[in-house]
């Protein structure tokens, strides 16, 4: 790797260090308190359930390697303590507790719309925080890199679009208002419960326009959806939270090939897919190589699409779907069973 790229990576590392030391105001409107480090994926339930005996998990190295991947077309994975994985500076201690208390400490109920929208809101807040940080780091690089123009085109896809950042802030403000007033009529979700525990967890936001490039919408029409997959007392919950007007679009994507679609999100579109270390080290080298290439998300999205190797078992046949306002008898039985598991846990 030539000296210019080394200079670039060094500046990126310094920019990250400067950004991590900054203090930010709570994302809640009119709150002047400082944000604490919050988890987008719950530490005590989701992350702990897939950690090893040392409370560690495997995830993408979002340090200097995340920029290096643009030159090597391969990302690296590293071990994180569950205390440092998926953290961001989003809310003050008061609001972080008030807003998310009802889904913390094992209280999340996958069959409730409000709980799914709280996950959506938390992930939207993380995404805004992440875009804010990257924007500041790239400004630092521009101001200090002597050969910036040489790599300008390569760095373009790494930068965040100003409109995209502004939109995420608009979305965070809107969702905070809707949740605070319990006005969730514009939202919807689809939930699937799998009678098996997978040794991974995932939470991310994806834009429907990636799958429907012909989708023409007006500005800020909320075409994004939130995807989550995590362990729930020995079962796996897969949920999709979105704005109600796009329900049919989501259902059509799931109808054609549910498993392939889920794999594609987990292994190509999410920056926060975490693995149990023991599970990760047992993976066939083909799968590891696939992950290291597929997670270089802008390169995959823009230039080529990797068909996901079926890293999850085929589980369409034994999923129990729950759709809002339609509570099948089997789901009620499962809810009762999960509640019993929780009480005895």
The DSSP line for 62-81 is: -SHHHHHHHHHS---EEEEE
CA separation for the pair 268, 255 (Å, rounded): 20
pTM of the model: 0.85
Classified as helix, coil or strand, 109 is coil
Q: What is the CA radius of gyration of the chain?
A: 20
DSSP 8-state code for residue 306: P
- Is 71 in contact with 89 (CB distance < 8 Å)? no
Between CA 15 and CA 321 the distance in angstroms is 45
Task: State the Cα–Cα distance between residues 324 and 243, nearest whole angstrom.
Answer: 13
Q: Say how far apart CA 4 and CA 146 lie, in whole Å.
A: 9
Average of per-residue pLDDT across 86-110: 91
Q: Is the pLDDT of residue 248 over 60?
A: yes
Q: Is 74 exposed, middle or buried (0-12, 13-18, 19+ CB in 10 A)?
A: middle
Q: In b/e form, how buried is each residue of 197-215, taking b as 16+ CB within 10 angstroms?
A: bbbbbbbbbbebeebeeee
Average pLDDT over residues 320-328: 54
Q: What is the C-alpha to C-alpha distance for residues 6 and 190, in angstroms, rounded to an integer?
A: 46
Asked if pLDDT for residue 91 goes beyond 90, the answer is: yes
State yes or no: pLDDT of 175 exceeds 70: yes
pLDDT, greater one: 302 or 173: 173
**Element spanning 195, H or E:** none
Higher pLDDT, 111 or 173: 173
pLDDT: which is higher, 220 or 36 = 36
Q: What value does the mean pLDDT take over residues 217-244?
A: 85
pLDDT band at 72 (very low <50, low <70, confident <90, very high): low
Extract the tokens encoding 205.
């936001």
- pLDDT greater at residue 331 or residue 86: 86
* Alpha carbons 237 and 6: distance in angstroms, whole number: 42
Average pLDDT for 149-156:
65
Among 64-73, 146-155, 201-210, the range scoring the smallest mean pLDDT is: 64-73
- Three-state SS for 204? strand
* Geometric angle at alpha carbon 139, from 138 and 143, rounded to 5°: 115
pLDDT band at residue 218, thresholds of 50, 70 and 90? low
Q: How far apart are CA 290 and CA 309, in angstroms?
A: 8
The pLDDT, as a whole number, for residue 303 is 40
pLDDT value at 279 more than 70: yes
> What band does 333 get if pLDDT is binned at 50, 70 and 90?
low
Token pair, residue 59, equals: 């995830």
Q: What is the mean pLDDT of residues 225-250?
A: 90
Which segments of the chain does DSSP mark as H helices, in order?
A: 3-20, 48-49, 64-72, 93-100, 113-144, 152-156, 162-180, 247-256, 258-264, 277-282, 285-294, 297-303, 329-344
Whether pLDDT at 164 is above 60: yes
Q: Is the pLDDT of residue 300 over 50?
A: no
How many whole angstroms from its chain centre is CA 140? 26
Which of 38-42, 131-135, 264-268, 327-331 shows the lowest per-residue confidence on average (mean pLDDT)? 327-331
The answer to whether residue 334 scores a pLDDT higher than 80 is no
Rounded to an integer, the average pLDDT of 86-97 is: 94
> Which of the four pLDDT bands, split at 50, 70 and 90, describes residue 148?
low
Q: How far is CA 106 from CA 48, 103, 242, 339, in A?
A: 11, 7, 23, 11
Coil, strand, or helix at residue 289? helix
Backbone angles phi, psi at 78, to 5 degrees: -145, 165
> Mean pLDDT throughout 323-328?
52
């Amino acid at each position: 790797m030539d000296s210019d790229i080394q200079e670039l990576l060094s500046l990126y590392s310094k920019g990250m260090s400067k950004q991590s030391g900054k203090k930010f105001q709570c994302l809640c409107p009119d709150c002047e308190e400082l944000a604490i480090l919050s988890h987008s994926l719950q530490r005590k339930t989701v992350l702990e359930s897939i950690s090893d005996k040392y409370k560690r998990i495997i995830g993408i190295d979002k340090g200097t390697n995340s920029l290096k991947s643009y030159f090597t077309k391969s990302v690296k994975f590293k071990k994180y303590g569950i205390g440092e994985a998926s953290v961001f500076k989003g809310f003050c201690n008061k609001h972080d507790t008030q807003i998310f208390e009802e889904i913390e400490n094992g209280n999340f109920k996958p069959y409730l719309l409000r709980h799914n929208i709280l996950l959506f809101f938390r992930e939207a807040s993380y995404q805004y925080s992440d875009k804010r940080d990257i924007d500041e780091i790239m400004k630092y690089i521009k101001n200090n890199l002597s050969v910036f123009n040489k790599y300008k085109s390569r760095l373009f896809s790494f930068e965040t679009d100003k409109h995209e950042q502004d939109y995420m802030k608009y979305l965070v403000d809107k969702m905070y208002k809707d949740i605070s007033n319990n006005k969730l009529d514009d939202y919807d979700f689809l939930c699937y419960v799998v009678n098996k525990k997978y040794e991974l967890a995932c939470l991310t936001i994806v834009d429907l326009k990636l799958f429907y490039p012909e989708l023409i919408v007006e500005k800020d029409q909320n075409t994004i959806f939130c995807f989550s997959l995590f362990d729930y007392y020995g079962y796996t919950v897969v949920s999709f939270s979105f704005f109600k007007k796009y329900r049919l679009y989501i259902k059509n994507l799931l109808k054609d090939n549910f498993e392939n679609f889920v794999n594609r999100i987990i292994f190509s579109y999410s920056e926060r897919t975490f693995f149990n270390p023991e599970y990760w080290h047992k993976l066939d080298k083909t799968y590891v190589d696939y992950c290291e290439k597929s997670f270089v998300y802008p390169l995959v999205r823009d230039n080529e699409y990797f068909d996901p190797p079926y890293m999850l078992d085929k589980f369409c046949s034994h999923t129990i779907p729950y759709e809002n306002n339609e509570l099948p008898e089997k789901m009620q039985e499962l809810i009762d069973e999960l509640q019993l598991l929780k009480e005895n846990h």
